[in-house]
Amino acid sequence: MSGLSPILKQATPVLAERGEGVYLYAEDGRRYLDFTAGIGVTSTGHCHPRVVAAVQEQAAKLIHGQYTTVMHRPLLTLSERLGTVLPEGLDSLFFVNSGSEAVEAALRLARQATARPNVIVFHGSFHGRTIGAASMTTSATKFSAGFAPLMGGVVVSPFPTAYRYGWSEQEATRFALRELDYVLQTLTTPGEAAAFFVEPVLGEGGYVPANTEFMRGLRERADRHGILLVLDEVQTGFGRTGRFWGHDHFGVRPDVVITAKGLASGFPLSAIAAPAELMAKAWPGSQGGTYGGNAVACAAALATLEVVQSENLVANSAEMGARLREGLAKVAADTPAIGDVRGLGLMLASEFVDQDGNPDAAAAARVQQAASAAGLLLLTCGAAGNVVRMIPPLIVTAEQIDEGLALWREAVASA
Ligand code: PMP
Protein backbone atom coordinates (compact mmCIF):
# COMPACT_ATOMS: atom_id res chain seq x y z
CA MET A 1 0.00 0.00 0.00
CA SER A 2 1.35 3.41 -0.90
CA GLY A 3 0.04 6.79 0.16
CA LEU A 4 0.75 10.45 0.59
CA SER A 5 3.92 11.67 2.21
CA PRO A 6 3.69 13.42 5.58
CA ILE A 7 5.63 16.30 3.98
CA LEU A 8 2.15 17.59 3.13
CA LYS A 9 0.43 19.41 5.98
CA GLN A 10 -3.22 20.20 5.39
CA ALA A 11 -5.06 23.14 6.98
CA THR A 12 -8.47 21.43 7.06
CA PRO A 13 -9.72 17.81 7.07
CA VAL A 14 -11.90 18.44 4.00
CA LEU A 15 -11.87 15.95 1.12
CA ALA A 16 -13.08 18.12 -1.73
CA GLU A 17 -15.09 16.60 -4.56
CA ARG A 18 -16.28 19.57 -6.55
CA GLY A 19 -16.41 23.33 -6.50
CA GLU A 20 -18.97 25.81 -7.75
CA GLY A 21 -18.53 29.57 -7.40
CA VAL A 22 -17.56 30.39 -3.81
CA TYR A 23 -18.55 26.94 -2.53
CA LEU A 24 -16.63 23.69 -2.21
CA TYR A 25 -18.47 20.39 -1.80
CA ALA A 26 -16.83 17.55 0.11
CA GLU A 27 -17.13 13.85 -0.72
CA ASP A 28 -19.37 13.45 2.33
CA GLY A 29 -21.82 15.93 0.78
CA ARG A 30 -21.00 18.88 3.09
CA ARG A 31 -20.91 22.37 1.59
CA TYR A 32 -18.20 24.88 2.54
CA LEU A 33 -18.01 28.61 1.93
CA ASP A 34 -14.50 28.86 0.54
CA PHE A 35 -12.74 32.00 1.79
CA THR A 36 -9.34 30.52 0.85
CA ALA A 37 -9.89 30.36 -2.93
CA GLY A 38 -7.09 27.80 -3.19
CA ILE A 39 -4.70 30.35 -1.58
CA GLY A 40 -5.97 33.31 -3.56
CA VAL A 41 -6.14 31.52 -6.92
CA THR A 42 -9.75 30.84 -7.95
CA SER A 43 -10.72 34.50 -8.26
CA THR A 44 -13.39 33.75 -10.86
CA GLY A 45 -14.87 31.16 -8.48
CA HIS A 46 -14.55 27.41 -8.69
CA CYS A 47 -15.19 26.08 -12.19
CA HIS A 48 -16.48 29.29 -13.76
CA PRO A 49 -18.48 28.13 -16.82
CA ARG A 50 -16.50 30.35 -19.22
CA VAL A 51 -13.19 29.07 -17.90
CA VAL A 52 -14.42 25.48 -18.08
CA ALA A 53 -15.62 25.96 -21.67
CA ALA A 54 -12.33 27.56 -22.76
CA VAL A 55 -10.33 24.76 -21.16
CA GLN A 56 -12.49 22.03 -22.72
CA GLU A 57 -12.26 23.61 -26.14
CA GLN A 58 -8.48 24.04 -25.95
CA ALA A 59 -7.89 20.56 -24.50
CA ALA A 60 -9.69 19.04 -27.49
CA LYS A 61 -7.40 21.00 -29.87
CA LEU A 62 -3.91 21.08 -28.37
CA ILE A 63 -2.91 20.33 -24.79
CA HIS A 64 0.85 20.60 -24.87
CA GLY A 65 2.28 23.08 -27.31
CA GLN A 66 5.84 22.97 -26.02
CA TYR A 67 7.00 26.59 -26.24
CA THR A 68 10.70 26.03 -26.72
CA THR A 69 9.87 23.67 -29.60
CA VAL A 70 6.78 25.19 -31.26
CA MET A 71 4.71 28.32 -30.65
CA HIS A 72 0.97 28.20 -30.13
CA ARG A 73 -1.84 30.74 -30.49
CA PRO A 74 -3.14 30.82 -26.87
CA LEU A 75 0.30 31.96 -25.65
CA LEU A 76 0.59 34.65 -28.34
CA THR A 77 -2.95 35.92 -27.69
CA LEU A 78 -2.43 35.92 -23.93
CA SER A 79 0.83 37.87 -24.28
CA GLU A 80 -1.07 40.50 -26.27
CA ARG A 81 -4.11 40.67 -24.00
CA LEU A 82 -2.08 40.98 -20.81
CA GLY A 83 -0.64 44.13 -22.34
CA THR A 84 -4.04 45.78 -21.79
CA VAL A 85 -3.82 45.34 -18.01
CA LEU A 86 -0.08 45.54 -17.34
CA PRO A 87 1.57 48.79 -16.25
CA GLU A 88 2.58 51.04 -19.14
CA GLY A 89 5.84 49.97 -20.74
CA LEU A 90 5.91 46.42 -19.36
CA ASP A 91 5.35 45.01 -22.81
CA SER A 92 7.47 41.85 -22.83
CA LEU A 93 6.38 38.64 -21.12
CA PHE A 94 7.92 35.32 -20.17
CA PHE A 95 5.80 32.44 -18.87
CA VAL A 96 6.47 29.60 -16.45
CA ASN A 97 4.26 27.45 -14.19
CA SER A 98 4.21 28.70 -10.61
CA GLY A 99 4.84 31.75 -8.49
CA SER A 100 8.17 30.37 -7.28
CA GLU A 101 9.39 29.74 -10.80
CA ALA A 102 8.37 33.23 -11.87
CA VAL A 103 10.28 34.70 -8.92
CA GLU A 104 13.31 32.69 -10.03
CA ALA A 105 12.80 33.88 -13.61
CA ALA A 106 12.79 37.50 -12.39
CA LEU A 107 15.87 36.84 -10.28
CA ARG A 108 17.77 35.41 -13.26
CA LEU A 109 16.64 38.28 -15.47
CA ALA A 110 17.73 40.83 -12.85
CA ARG A 111 21.17 39.26 -12.41
CA GLN A 112 21.81 38.87 -16.14
CA ALA A 113 20.47 42.30 -17.06
CA THR A 114 22.40 44.21 -14.39
CA ALA A 115 25.44 41.93 -14.06
CA ARG A 116 25.06 42.47 -10.29
CA PRO A 117 24.92 39.61 -7.79
CA ASN A 118 22.72 40.72 -4.88
CA VAL A 119 19.00 41.07 -4.35
CA ILE A 120 17.37 43.05 -1.56
CA VAL A 121 14.23 41.55 -0.01
CA PHE A 122 12.05 42.79 2.83
CA HIS A 123 11.64 41.11 6.19
CA GLY A 124 8.40 39.13 6.32
CA SER A 125 8.23 38.47 2.58
CA PHE A 126 7.29 35.18 0.97
CA HIS A 127 8.61 34.59 -2.54
CA GLY A 128 8.30 30.81 -2.92
CA ARG A 129 9.60 27.37 -2.12
CA THR A 130 12.30 26.54 -4.66
CA ILE A 131 15.75 27.03 -3.13
CA GLY A 132 16.31 30.38 -4.84
CA ALA A 133 12.88 31.73 -3.91
CA ALA A 134 13.06 30.16 -0.43
CA SER A 135 16.40 31.93 0.07
CA MET A 136 14.56 35.19 -0.58
CA THR A 137 11.74 34.24 1.80
CA THR A 138 11.78 35.62 5.34
CA SER A 139 8.12 35.23 6.37
CA ALA A 140 8.76 32.19 8.60
CA THR A 141 11.66 29.81 9.28
CA LYS A 142 9.52 26.82 8.25
CA PHE A 143 10.07 27.72 4.59
CA SER A 144 13.86 27.39 4.78
CA ALA A 145 14.78 25.51 7.97
CA GLY A 146 16.80 22.38 7.28
CA PHE A 147 17.38 23.29 3.62
CA ALA A 148 20.77 24.96 4.07
CA PRO A 149 22.95 25.93 2.33
CA LEU A 150 20.60 28.45 0.82
CA MET A 151 21.39 30.65 -2.19
CA GLY A 152 23.79 33.50 -1.51
CA GLY A 153 23.41 37.12 -2.50
CA VAL A 154 20.23 37.82 -0.54
CA VAL A 155 20.15 40.89 1.69
CA VAL A 156 17.20 41.54 4.02
CA SER A 157 15.88 44.97 4.98
CA PRO A 158 12.85 45.84 7.18
CA PHE A 159 9.30 46.11 5.85
CA PRO A 160 7.06 48.78 7.43
CA THR A 161 5.13 46.37 9.67
CA ALA A 162 3.70 49.08 11.93
CA TYR A 163 1.47 46.87 14.09
CA ARG A 164 4.23 44.49 15.12
CA TYR A 165 6.57 47.32 16.07
CA GLY A 166 3.74 49.10 17.88
CA TRP A 167 4.41 52.15 15.72
CA SER A 168 2.41 54.40 13.45
CA GLU A 169 2.57 53.68 9.73
CA GLN A 170 4.70 56.78 9.33
CA GLU A 171 7.18 55.76 12.03
CA ALA A 172 7.47 52.25 10.61
CA THR A 173 8.03 53.62 7.11
CA ARG A 174 10.68 56.10 8.20
CA PHE A 175 12.46 53.29 10.06
CA ALA A 176 12.27 50.91 7.08
CA LEU A 177 13.68 53.47 4.62
CA ARG A 178 16.46 54.55 6.99
CA GLU A 179 17.41 50.94 7.54
CA LEU A 180 17.40 50.40 3.78
CA ASP A 181 19.95 53.18 3.35
CA TYR A 182 21.99 51.60 6.15
CA VAL A 183 21.75 48.23 4.38
CA LEU A 184 23.08 49.89 1.22
CA GLN A 185 26.05 51.18 3.25
CA THR A 186 26.74 48.03 5.25
CA LEU A 187 25.50 44.84 3.62
CA THR A 188 25.70 45.44 -0.13
CA THR A 189 26.99 48.34 -2.17
CA PRO A 190 24.27 49.79 -4.41
CA GLY A 191 26.49 48.87 -7.36
CA GLU A 192 26.22 45.20 -6.43
CA ALA A 193 22.45 45.27 -5.88
CA ALA A 194 20.54 43.94 -8.90
CA ALA A 195 16.99 44.35 -7.61
CA PHE A 196 14.54 45.02 -4.85
CA PHE A 197 11.93 42.25 -4.62
CA VAL A 198 8.84 43.40 -2.76
CA GLU A 199 5.22 42.36 -2.24
CA PRO A 200 2.69 45.24 -2.34
CA VAL A 201 1.00 43.48 0.57
CA LEU A 202 3.00 40.96 2.60
CA GLY A 203 1.05 37.76 1.97
CA GLU A 204 2.24 34.72 3.88
CA GLY A 205 4.00 37.19 6.19
CA GLY A 206 0.71 38.36 7.69
CA TYR A 207 -1.27 40.52 5.21
CA VAL A 208 0.58 43.76 5.88
CA PRO A 209 0.07 46.38 3.15
CA ALA A 210 3.02 48.52 2.05
CA ASN A 211 2.25 52.22 1.63
CA THR A 212 2.84 55.01 -0.84
CA GLU A 213 5.74 56.60 1.02
CA PHE A 214 7.59 53.29 1.36
CA MET A 215 7.07 52.31 -2.26
CA ARG A 216 8.11 55.76 -3.48
CA GLY A 217 11.19 55.43 -1.30
CA LEU A 218 12.07 52.18 -3.06
CA ARG A 219 11.43 53.69 -6.51
CA GLU A 220 13.59 56.68 -5.70
CA ARG A 221 16.51 54.51 -4.50
CA ALA A 222 16.04 52.16 -7.46
CA ASP A 223 16.36 55.11 -9.85
CA ARG A 224 19.30 56.62 -7.99
CA HIS A 225 21.34 53.41 -7.95
CA GLY A 226 20.19 51.59 -11.09
CA ILE A 227 18.54 48.87 -9.00
CA LEU A 228 15.49 47.15 -10.53
CA LEU A 229 12.18 47.38 -8.67
CA VAL A 230 10.59 43.93 -8.95
CA LEU A 231 7.04 43.64 -7.63
CA ASP A 232 5.95 40.20 -6.55
CA GLU A 233 2.25 40.43 -7.40
CA VAL A 234 1.73 36.66 -7.22
CA GLN A 235 -0.89 36.99 -4.47
CA THR A 236 -1.86 40.67 -4.86
CA GLY A 237 -2.41 40.79 -8.63
CA PHE A 238 -5.46 40.30 -10.83
CA GLY A 239 -7.88 42.30 -8.71
CA ARG A 240 -7.25 40.70 -5.34
CA THR A 241 -6.65 44.02 -3.55
CA GLY A 242 -9.51 45.96 -5.14
CA ARG A 243 -7.26 47.43 -7.85
CA PHE A 244 -5.97 45.40 -10.79
CA TRP A 245 -2.44 45.31 -9.32
CA GLY A 246 -1.58 45.72 -5.68
CA HIS A 247 0.92 48.45 -6.54
CA ASP A 248 -1.86 50.51 -8.21
CA HIS A 249 -2.68 51.63 -4.65
CA PHE A 250 0.72 53.31 -4.40
CA GLY A 251 1.25 54.85 -7.83
CA VAL A 252 4.81 53.59 -8.32
CA ARG A 253 6.24 52.36 -11.60
CA PRO A 254 7.69 48.84 -11.41
CA ASP A 255 10.52 47.54 -13.60
CA VAL A 256 9.29 43.96 -13.41
CA VAL A 257 5.92 42.51 -12.35
CA ILE A 258 5.54 38.88 -11.31
CA THR A 259 2.07 37.34 -11.67
CA ALA A 260 0.60 33.88 -10.97
CA LYS A 261 -2.27 32.60 -8.77
CA GLY A 262 -5.36 34.61 -9.97
CA LEU A 263 -3.99 34.67 -13.52
CA ALA A 264 -5.43 31.33 -14.66
CA SER A 265 -8.24 30.36 -12.25
CA GLY A 266 -6.32 27.37 -10.92
CA PHE A 267 -4.26 26.21 -13.88
CA PRO A 268 -0.49 26.27 -13.28
CA LEU A 269 0.65 29.42 -15.04
CA SER A 270 2.80 32.37 -14.06
CA ALA A 271 4.62 35.16 -15.84
CA ILE A 272 7.07 37.97 -15.50
CA ALA A 273 6.52 41.22 -17.40
CA ALA A 274 9.18 43.85 -18.08
CA PRO A 275 10.02 46.48 -20.69
CA ALA A 276 11.31 44.92 -23.92
CA GLU A 277 14.70 46.69 -23.54
CA LEU A 278 15.18 45.08 -20.14
CA MET A 279 14.05 41.63 -21.32
CA ALA A 280 16.46 41.98 -24.25
CA LYS A 281 19.35 41.94 -21.77
CA ALA A 282 18.51 38.38 -20.70
CA TRP A 283 20.45 35.75 -22.56
CA PRO A 284 18.20 34.02 -25.15
CA GLY A 285 17.60 30.38 -24.30
CA SER A 286 18.87 30.81 -20.74
CA GLN A 287 15.39 30.21 -19.34
CA GLY A 288 12.55 27.90 -20.34
CA GLY A 289 10.90 24.72 -19.15
CA THR A 290 8.93 21.74 -20.37
CA TYR A 291 5.48 22.97 -19.37
CA GLY A 292 5.84 26.76 -19.38
CA GLY A 293 3.02 28.66 -21.08
CA ASN A 294 0.98 25.48 -21.43
CA ALA A 295 -1.76 25.86 -24.06
CA VAL A 296 -4.66 24.84 -21.79
CA ALA A 297 -3.37 27.05 -18.96
CA CYS A 298 -3.13 29.98 -21.40
CA ALA A 299 -6.71 29.36 -22.57
CA ALA A 300 -7.79 29.37 -18.92
CA ALA A 301 -5.94 32.66 -18.38
CA LEU A 302 -7.57 34.26 -21.43
CA ALA A 303 -11.01 33.25 -20.15
CA THR A 304 -10.07 34.46 -16.66
CA LEU A 305 -9.10 37.88 -17.97
CA GLU A 306 -12.38 38.11 -19.91
CA VAL A 307 -14.38 37.20 -16.81
CA VAL A 308 -12.45 39.62 -14.57
CA GLN A 309 -13.16 42.42 -17.04
CA SER A 310 -16.73 41.61 -18.14
CA GLU A 311 -17.96 40.85 -14.61
CA ASN A 312 -16.18 43.88 -13.12
CA LEU A 313 -14.42 41.73 -10.57
CA VAL A 314 -11.86 44.37 -9.62
CA ALA A 315 -14.63 46.79 -8.60
CA ASN A 316 -16.42 43.94 -6.83
CA SER A 317 -13.24 43.14 -4.93
CA ALA A 318 -13.07 46.74 -3.69
CA GLU A 319 -16.76 46.85 -2.80
CA MET A 320 -17.04 43.44 -1.16
CA GLY A 321 -13.67 44.00 0.50
CA ALA A 322 -15.01 47.15 2.18
CA ARG A 323 -18.07 45.23 3.38
CA LEU A 324 -15.98 42.34 4.71
CA ARG A 325 -13.53 44.68 6.38
CA GLU A 326 -16.32 46.56 8.14
CA GLY A 327 -17.75 43.28 9.45
CA LEU A 328 -14.32 42.06 10.60
CA ALA A 329 -13.71 45.35 12.38
CA LYS A 330 -17.03 44.97 14.23
CA VAL A 331 -16.11 41.46 15.40
CA ALA A 332 -12.65 42.72 16.44
CA ALA A 333 -14.22 45.57 18.43
CA ASP A 334 -16.04 42.95 20.55
CA THR A 335 -13.03 40.63 20.78
CA PRO A 336 -9.94 41.70 22.77
CA ALA A 337 -8.02 38.72 21.30
CA ILE A 338 -8.17 40.33 17.85
CA GLY A 339 -5.52 43.04 17.94
CA ASP A 340 -5.62 44.19 14.33
CA VAL A 341 -7.71 43.93 11.17
CA ARG A 342 -5.91 44.87 7.97
CA GLY A 343 -5.41 44.28 4.26
CA LEU A 344 -6.64 45.67 0.96
CA GLY A 345 -9.69 44.71 -1.12
CA LEU A 346 -10.51 41.02 -0.68
CA MET A 347 -7.14 40.28 0.92
CA LEU A 348 -7.99 40.77 4.59
CA ALA A 349 -6.87 39.36 7.90
CA SER A 350 -7.43 39.43 11.66
CA GLU A 351 -4.41 39.16 13.97
CA PHE A 352 -4.83 37.22 17.23
CA VAL A 353 -2.86 38.33 20.30
CA ASP A 354 -2.76 37.42 23.99
CA GLN A 355 -3.37 39.80 26.90
CA ASP A 356 0.13 41.26 26.54
CA GLY A 357 -0.29 41.85 22.81
CA ASN A 358 1.98 38.93 21.85
CA PRO A 359 1.09 36.67 18.90
CA ASP A 360 -1.45 33.99 19.89
CA ALA A 361 -1.17 31.23 17.31
CA ALA A 362 -3.23 28.80 19.40
CA ALA A 363 -6.22 31.17 19.36
CA ALA A 364 -5.90 31.65 15.59
CA ALA A 365 -5.77 27.88 15.09
CA ARG A 366 -8.84 27.31 17.28
CA VAL A 367 -10.83 29.91 15.35
CA GLN A 368 -9.68 28.60 11.97
CA GLN A 369 -10.67 25.06 12.96
CA ALA A 370 -14.00 26.13 14.46
CA ALA A 371 -14.78 28.06 11.28
CA SER A 372 -14.02 25.15 9.01
CA ALA A 373 -16.09 22.80 11.20
CA ALA A 374 -18.96 25.30 10.86
CA GLY A 375 -18.58 25.42 7.06
CA LEU A 376 -16.25 28.38 6.46
CA LEU A 377 -12.82 27.53 5.05
CA LEU A 378 -10.02 29.85 6.18
CA LEU A 379 -6.22 29.88 6.29
CA THR A 380 -3.73 31.36 8.73
CA CYS A 381 -0.53 33.26 7.97
CA GLY A 382 2.13 35.36 9.69
CA ALA A 383 5.48 34.35 11.19
CA ALA A 384 3.79 32.88 14.25
CA GLY A 385 0.70 31.64 12.39
CA ASN A 386 -1.51 33.93 14.50
CA VAL A 387 -3.14 35.79 11.62
CA VAL A 388 -6.37 34.42 10.08
CA ARG A 389 -6.86 35.56 6.51
CA MET A 390 -9.84 35.83 4.21
CA ILE A 391 -9.33 35.66 0.45
CA PRO A 392 -12.69 34.74 -1.09
CA PRO A 393 -13.16 34.43 -4.84
CA LEU A 394 -13.63 37.90 -6.36
CA ILE A 395 -17.12 36.91 -7.57
CA VAL A 396 -18.36 36.82 -3.96
CA THR A 397 -21.73 38.55 -3.36
CA ALA A 398 -22.88 40.72 -0.44
CA GLU A 399 -25.05 37.82 0.81
CA GLN A 400 -22.06 35.48 0.79
CA ILE A 401 -19.90 38.04 2.60
CA ASP A 402 -22.61 38.30 5.26
CA GLU A 403 -22.89 34.51 5.44
CA GLY A 404 -19.11 34.34 5.98
CA LEU A 405 -19.20 37.07 8.62
CA ALA A 406 -21.96 35.28 10.56
CA LEU A 407 -19.89 32.06 10.58
CA TRP A 408 -16.81 34.06 11.54
CA ARG A 409 -18.54 35.71 14.50
CA GLU A 410 -19.76 32.29 15.66
CA ALA A 411 -16.29 30.72 15.29
CA VAL A 412 -14.57 33.55 17.16
CA ALA A 413 -17.14 33.36 19.98
CA SER A 414 -16.91 29.56 20.29
CA ALA A 415 -13.10 29.44 20.22
N1 PMP B 1 5.13 34.98 -4.13
C2 PMP B 1 4.06 35.26 -3.36
C3 PMP B 1 3.80 36.67 -2.95
C4 PMP B 1 3.18 34.24 -2.94
O5 PMP B 1 2.13 34.52 -2.16
C6 PMP B 1 3.44 32.91 -3.35
C7 PMP B 1 2.53 31.76 -2.96
N8 PMP B 1 1.87 31.87 -1.77
C9 PMP B 1 4.57 32.67 -4.15
C10 PMP B 1 5.39 33.72 -4.52
C11 PMP B 1 4.91 31.28 -4.62
O12 PMP B 1 3.96 30.82 -5.52
P13 PMP B 1 3.82 29.25 -5.84
O14 PMP B 1 3.28 28.62 -4.62
O15 PMP B 1 2.88 29.21 -7.01
O16 PMP B 1 5.17 28.75 -6.20
**Where along the chain do its domains lie?**
16-48+312-414, 52-310
CA of 99 to the centre of ligand 1 (A): 5
pLDDT of residue 19: 98
CA of 212 to the centre of ligand 1 (A): 23
pLDDT of residue 105: 98
- What's the pTM value of the predicted model, to 2 decimals? 0.98
The beta strand positions in 113-207, using DSSP E, are 118-122, 154-157, 193-198, 201-202
CA of 176 to the centre of ligand 1 (A): 23
Percent of the chain having pLDDT more than 70? Answer: 100
- Decide whether any atom of ligand 1 lies within 6 Å of the 39 Cβ: yes
Q: Predicted confidence band at 333 (pLDDT cuts at 50, 70, 90)? A: very high
User: In CATH, what number does 52-310 get?
Assistant: 3.40.640.10
CA-nearest residue for atom 10, ligand 1, is 127
Q: Predicted confidence band at 68 (pLDDT cuts at 50, 70, 90)? A: very high
pLDDT per residue as tens digits for the range 132-158? 999 999 999 999 999 999 999 999 999
Determine contact, residues 400/33, Cβ cutoff 8 Å: yes
- Decide whether any atom of ligand 1 lies within 6 Å of the 376 Cβ: no
Helices and strands in the chain: count of H runs, count of E runs: 13, 17
Closest ligand 1 atom to 233 CA: 3
- Decide whether any atom of ligand 1 lies within 6 Å of the 272 Cβ: no
Cα–Cα dist 348/392, whole Å: 10
CA of 258 to the centre of ligand 1 (A): 10
Q: Predicted confidence band at 47 (pLDDT cuts at 50, 70, 90)? A: very high
pLDDT of residue 37: 98
Choose one of 97, 197, 199, 234 to mutate for the ligand 1 pocket test, by most ligand atoms within 8 angstroms of C-beta: 234
pLDDT per residue as tens digits for the range 229-286? 999 999 999 999 999 999 999 999 999 999 999 999 999 999 999 999 999 999 999 9
Long-range (24+ apart) CB contacts under 8 A made by 133-136 are 133/99, 133/100, 133/103, 133/104, 133/107, 136/103, 136/107, 136/197
Residue type, 288: G
Which fold would CATH assign to domain 16-48+312-414? Aspartate Aminotransferase, domain 1 (3.90.1150)
CA-nearest residue for atom 12, ligand 1, is 99
